[in-house]
Structure 1
Amino acid sequence: MNNIIKMNTHKIRGGYLATYFRKLNECGVRYCVLRNYWSLPQSSGGSDVDIWVHEDDVEKTFRICEETKTECGYHLVSRYGDATAEKLCFQREDDGVQFDLFRGAIYYRNRMFIDGDTILRHIHDYQGVCVLDDNFADLIAFLKEILNNGKCASKYVAPVIGNEVFSENYLKDNLCNFSPTFAEKIYLFIINQ
């Protein structure tokens, strides 16, 4: 009977993701998908899956990756990274998925950008997948774009500018790895549009 189940799972497109998220939830892993989650758990919607995992659950997560790979008939075709983040790519003949897995926090140039406790405060369920609150995800994308490029495309600015969620207190509470002055300047930028 198990062989029949495995063969059927093998033929389901997106079988890795659905199985993987089910196993993460069953094992009590603290995680969240950071963005582009609307087609999960059946598909990644053509993009990588950016996922954060609590520092105490990283090894368990890698074990689940291995179990899911075996159960669903995928192969690990690449894995590289460092102590802060890893890229993992799984493929089989008819499907593939790539994860950008952030370990314990979100880093920018090896410095903690957003800590795990802050991330945990912004997680909610979407179709059985733990995901990051859209407003907080938009703020992170906006800041990372500015830090990485020194400028920001309008697709990152539009969700943030004028957004009333981003009060000065909200920014200070959630950008605790930045100076209070930085949070104040971001707040003024947001309200002045």
Structure 2
Amino acid sequence: MMRRLSVVVVFALSVAACGPEMPPLNFSVPNVGPSQTKLDAEVKSITVSVARPDEATGKLAFGVETSAPLWKTSLEEALTKMAIFKDDAPKKVSVAVKVLKLDLPDFGGTFTTETAARYEIIDRSDGSVIFTTDVNSKGEVTLDYAFVGMVRARESINRSVQNNILQFLQQVETVRIDRPMFPVARAPASLPATISAKGAPTS
């Protein structure tokens, strides 16, 4: 029994000496600052969901739904730091994110996680899609980061999602709030009342 315990302790110490501990899932994008661009709209809600099988563009790792709340929190944090939207603007919008792919590596020296997500900015007054984009990103972690594969895999997820959010933030600065990509078709105005025909002139 003591010998088995000693083996476990030695293994644990060797793992600890080989690199950093298991990192938590953390999608917070580093080095985000105020943007020079200002969009005349207020973000009223942010949602993150996972694609259905028929919507997915690649593999969705088991348990991917647990990433949605962290993704939402990190996106909210980044947009707040950017200060690109105006809280007192008359136009209200929603930001909707759909995770289309979260493909984790099975093994290897370099762990690469591939991520894809669709971002939409929606006008809450009529449902027009002001802006939409599909973002593809990768997160790579090499063997020199950590010897333990699970540590590299976890960090590769973090980097992949962080890179995905970052690409969206960069694209947000090009958005034209007043020119929706997919405006909602408005019903035609009601036709004026039929004008009665004039009577034939009398002689």
Question: Shorter-chain TM-score: what band?
Answer: under 0.3
TM-score, normalised with respect to structure 2: 0.25
Larger Rg: 2
Q: Comparing both structures, which one devotes a greater share of its residues to helix?
A: 1
Structure with the greater relative contact order (CA < 8 A, sep ≥ 6): 1 or 2?
Answer: 2
